[in-house]
Structure 1
Amino acid sequence: MSIQKYSVNQYTIQTLLTWITSGEIAIPEIQRPFVWSSTQVRDLIDSLYNGFPVGYLIAWRNPNVKLKDGTQSTGKRVLIDGQQRITALMAALLGYEVIDDEYRRVKMTIAFNPEEDRFEVLNPAIKKDNAWISNIADIVRSDARLFSIAKDFSTNNQNFTQEAIFEKLERLKSLVNNHIGLIELNSNLDIQTVTEIFIRINSRGKVLSQADFAMSKIAADEQYGGNELRKCIDYFCHLAVAPEFYQSIKERDTTFAQTEYFQRMQWLKNENDDIYDPNYTDMLRVSFISEFKRGRLEDLVALLSGRNFITRTFEEEIAIASFDKLKAGIMKYMSETNFKRFVMIIRSAGFIDSSMIRSQNALNFAYTLYLTLIGLKENPNVIESLVRRWYVLSVLTGRYSSSPESTMDYDIRNIDSLGANRHLDNIMEAELGDAFWNAGLPQQMNTSVASSPYFKVYLAAQVKMNDKGFLSRDITVRDLIAHRGDVHHLFPKNYLKKRGLNRARYNQIANYVMMQSEINIAIKDRAPSEYFSELVERVSSGTAAYGAITDPAEMEENFRMHCIPDGMKDKDIEHYDDFLEERRMLMAKKIKKYFLSL
């Protein structure tokens, strides 16, 4: 027999608003950008005015926490679905300011036309029009003097009697007596069940994640500073993408600007490196895993709730310690020294442009590893090598592409018990043996996707080895990537298209090289047998062709850098498949040499 995990109750809007103002129900999104448009707020009010249903809200009452004196603290209701509707009601009916997508505090005022029973977002024209009541919040508040308002309105609108407008105002004021359904999840549900329910809820078509739940939990616990910590995470991630936002925070959120959080992140105001632009999930995940040595964010929600995993009770000491620990992790994450040095390590592995980053989870765990090793006071040279190798291994093997939380949890626990070096060696022995380099990797490179992680690692290897562009004497692969150079085809695209090959065939990554556009233009649509023959002949006589190289030894070295198979001057369409297979093998060998050098 199934056990119902929730109750369904109907509450008046007034009751919900009272809970909000008293702190009985926590609105974790109040410090985040309000995603509804003003017209959506207007439509919500119109639906309530006309008695239309507006959907259910879902809340979870936090588990009772055992306090130091032995008493129990009754948990707040945490709103986990319906935050936009509640925030809209707060803005329209209570006059609360909301945060827009530029993190500015704005008023969202709804006006009412009694004659037409119509609501509109307040604008200058409506504000000057006597037929409109400019702000419905003035009507619904408890101390509103409806007789006085009705008298003034009827004086300015001769077609309305004082009695008629009073009836309209009473109907508007009674809007707060309408009911909204609230689904309340049982407080005795375990964290895993609540998390599962939470992430199954769709919000505006987007499935909510465990990180969303954790962020809501953080913001809901104001007594432990969660609201400021939540704001800190949001602001840091926004600043990482838009440094110009710094001044806006400083001027518009003066209270937060005085906190240690803001001091720790202010270096971002002059930072434009986009190799690692984290979102709140990334920041929360790295901080949690590195500090708590656990990989599942549902465990973070449990710990912040005061969960004792042994006794299965909730204790205030654990909640306090967990918030303190998370705060420490966030501060380490935001450290200018830590963040910049980590990015420098990733760049030193050859990943010099954000276009080369194909796995945010791999990047996240590499930073987790960095922070962990820093905490252990490991030798800086060892840290750099371990982080580089771990990141590249993660990308090559797709280590965090499926079930990332489980894998991260497994890795951090083994790093904690065995040490990073030994755990990495164990993974390399299991996953990067000869079979991977000689068969697995070449097979994975049988793809036409230019954004393939294997191709990005190959390019990183070329950057790391300071390779020149194909047939270039002075321009490096690093230069071409940094200046948004394009990849071009060794077997020209149009040459292959004219012979009936489709996109998946001619765009194989084994057919790609980083090449200057002018060299590509000079080659045109000629078969390799033609342009390689001319290239070899002219360079052998000391004359440049398709580039500035005039020395045969330099030309051969350039071929080696780009894993060009032997005998290209004899290859045409019937050799294309053999060429691809041979070049994949050469590219895999280059990647192996690169990886072992890290």
Structure 2
Amino acid sequence: MASKAWLISVRKILEEWAACKIPTIQRGFVWNEERIKEFLDSIIKGYPVGSIILWTPKDEFPHAPLIDNLNKEPNNTYILDGQQRVTSLFLVYNGWKILRNGELIEVRPVYYDPKGNKLFVSSSKSAEKRGIDVSLILKAYSGDVEAYQELMVKYPNYAKTLGELARKILDYEIPYYELKDNISYDEVADIFVKVNSAGVKIENMHMFLSLFVGTLPQELSDVKNEIIAIHKKFGARESFGLTFETILRFVFHNLGVKQTQLSDNRKFKSAIKAVWDKYGANPSEIRDVVSCSERAIQLALNYLEQELGVVKTSFIPSQNALLPLFKYFYVNDYETPEKLPREERKHLAKLFILSSYVGRYSGNTKIDQDLGIITKGRFPIEQLIKRLEEDNHFTIKDFERDKNKFAEAIKVQGRKYIMLLIIALYKSHARDWTIQEKRVVENVKANDYEVHHIFPREYLSRFDIIDSDLVNDLGNLTIIDPYINKEIGDNEPLNYLSAYSEFLEEHFIPVEQELWRVENFENFLKKRREAIYDFILEEILV
């Protein structure tokens, strides 16, 4: 195994490395144009940019091409570490877009401002008035005659400056290591883990996915893409917003990997071995598990929307609380959420609300425990609630007492209150205060909503009420149409609430006008908080 570092210029990388491969243990390209700009800036200034590790095994491993290149035969050299930097260089050289496995990778152009001697990012057509496309500069000084002629015609006064800039980039040397001998895949995986752990470049679960897929036979190498496709389906902003981590937690638990193993790279090897001990005789079942996991996620999200009106992750404290719901639909063969017995629907809702509210699944051990319980049979709500009460020291009575506590609900730590609000509004069939009378959940699903302060912040500040625990308390917040929110502005409740009287009760807003006065602000908050908590208790928790 080679341990000596060699040096290679950017020019040589562009000439010789286009036919390299990306092993599946690497993640996809994630840098944006700002990162590329910083990378180029470091090169121009002569700063170190890190080393690259290449691997040339005798056998072929699951991979993607660095760049789709019809003019060159692919070699058997893999970029084990450094593909973000190498991909960035090829993006610069190829006009900011390349194809990889037929999929377009594209970023906004980086320009060089010769007057200010700095780089900037822009997609505006007017960018060329104050800067020069770095891609054009690089191609012009790499032997592209047409690019050179275009550069000289457009920017004749900067020929010397641009030539010096191009040379700084093209002649810059990057250190690289080349692993050639017949080292095993396990050794390569070990190197990959150590390299990425040192710089915290890849989250543990992403790293586990990459290492796991690298052990799959070639006919199953697209499993990684299938898992990524699940994230694309449920992770988009216009969709539910699931994180990749949540999906990986669920899929790998279904394959027999514990959450504690996913979070510790020292346990990766034994976890992957356990999967192969289970599925080695019939590896195609792995694809079945992934497919069933996707179906379970879809059913669980449909259930959340239909039962609680939860359609976005931005309204829940932690996505880990979704895992028991996913597992429930994975082990129970329901075609649709509507097929669930009524009592079971309520049990699921109760567990989801309480575990989210108290933050039960912040640790891996409790996730493993509860998913294990659900796997064993029908939904054991009593056992799960008992565990929550014992482990988290939280009961329904504690939940009831919380209705008398003011707390910031806008920030991340206050999401449990926003969750209660969206569920209560959904269950009360709350509308958005417009003449169209759309349900609030429709606005949220379409990302066309505003969190409205019933006593506007500007209005409260006139009376020196600035404590965020009061101003942003659950009792002062509701969800309405953005246009209506803007129209209300900083009006006092006494002046505007009457105009929306038909919507007040379904938004749990006290109808006693005396409570709409600023001197009764805290009493207003208490009454509305109580109404929301009592509604959740009566409808779902008891």
Query: Normalization by structure 2: what TM-score?
Result: 0.63
**RMSD over aligned Cα atoms:** 5.9
Alpha-carbon distance in 2 for matches of 1:19, 1:219: 24
Counterpart mapping for 1:171-570 below 5 A: 180-181=176-177, 198-203=196-201, 208-221=202-215, 223=217, 225=219, 227-238=221-232, 274-292=238-256, 294-298=258-262, 305=269, 317=277, 320=280, 324=284, 326-335=286-295, 338-354=296-312, 356-374=315-333, 380-381=340-341, 384-400=345-361, 402-403=362-363, 405-417=364-376, 420-421=379-380, 422-427=382-387, 429-430=389-390, 433-440=395-402, 442-443=404-405, 446-449=407-410, 452-467=415-430, 476-478=439-441, 481=444, 484-502=448-466, 504=468, 505-514=470-479, 525-526=491-492, 528=494, 545-547=498-500, 549=502, 559=505, 561-564=506-509, 568-569=513-514
Once residues 179 and 416 of structure 2 are traced to their aligned partners in structure 1, the CA distance between those partners, rounded to angstroms, is: 44
In structure 2, relative to structure 1, the CA distance for the partners of 1:316 and 1:7 (3 Å cut) is farther
Please report how far the alpha carbon of residue 463 of structure 1 lies from its aligned counterpart in structure 2 after TM superposition.
Answer: 0.9
**Separation in 2, partners of 1:36, 1:525:** 42
Aligned-partner Cα distance in 2 for 1:119–1:99:
19
The structural deviation recorded for 1:285 is: 1.8
1:29 aligns with 2:1: no
- Indicate the SS of the match to 1:394: helix
* Deviation readout 1:468-510 (Å, 9 max, x if unpaired): 5689996654466567344444445444222121262433221
Q: Is the 8 A contact 1:12 1:180 kept in 2?
A: yes
- Rounded Cα–Cα distance in structure 2 between residues aligned with 1:176 and 1:471: 61
Equivalent residues, number: 462
Q: Which amino acid aligns with 1:380?
A: L
SS in 1 for 2:325: helix
CA distance in 2: counterparts of 1:465 and 1:358, whole angstroms = 22
Letter in 1 for 2:533: A
Structure 1 residues 428 and 29: CA distance shift in structure 2, 3 A: closer
User: 2: CA distance between counterparts of 1:524 and 1:54?
Assistant: 51
The structure with the larger Rg is 1
1:346 deviates by 0.9
CA apart distance, 1:439: 2.0
The runs of 5 or more residues in structure 1 that have no matched partner are 1-5, 63-75, 107-117, 133-174, 243-272, 533-544, 550-554
Aligned residues with identical type, % of pairs: 15
Q: Secondary structure at the match of 2:351?
A: helix
Is the CA contact (8 Å cut-off) linking 1:288 and 1:300 kept in structure 2?
no
Deviations 1:214-233 (A, max 9, x none): 13213433535453112222
Structure 1 residue 120, shift from structure 2 partner: 5.0
Aligned residue in 2 for 1:596: 541
Distance in 2, Cα, partners of 1:587 & 1:489: 16
Q: Deviations over 1:116-167 (max 9, x none)?
A: xx995437996335979xxxxxxxxxxxxxxxxxxxxxxxxxxxxxxxxxxx
Contact 1:469–1:475 (CA<8 Å) still a contact in 2?
yes
Structure 2 gaps, min length 5: 58-75, 107-134, 150-170
Cα distance change of structure 1 residues 571 and 235 upon mapping to structure 2, 3 Å threshold: closer
How far, CA to CA, are the matches of 1:130 and 1:468 in structure 2? Answer: 59
**3-state DSSP of counterpart to 2:176:** strand
State the one-letter code of the partner of 1:201.
Answer: G
* 1:82 has 2:46 as partner: no
Q: 1:352 to 1:20 in 2, by over 3 A?
A: same
The one-character-per-residue Cα deviations of 1:154-199 (angstroms, maximum 9, x if unpaired) are xxxxxxxxxxxxxxxxxxxxx999962479999999x999868744
Alpha carbons of structure 1 residues 309 and 492: separation in structure 2 relative to 1, 3 Å = closer
Which residue identity is paired with 1:351? G
Given the alignment, which residue of 7, 10, 17 partners 2:5?
10
- Contact 1:13–1:179 (CA<8 Å) still a contact in 2? yes
Scaled by the length of structure 1, the TM-score of the pair is: 0.58
Check conservation: 2:53, 2:82, Cα contact below 8 A: yes
**TM-superposed deviation, 1:288:** 1.3
Q: 1:297 to 1:88 in 2, by over 3 A?
A: farther
Q: Alignment partner for residue 145 of structure 2, among 123, 128, 148?
A: 128
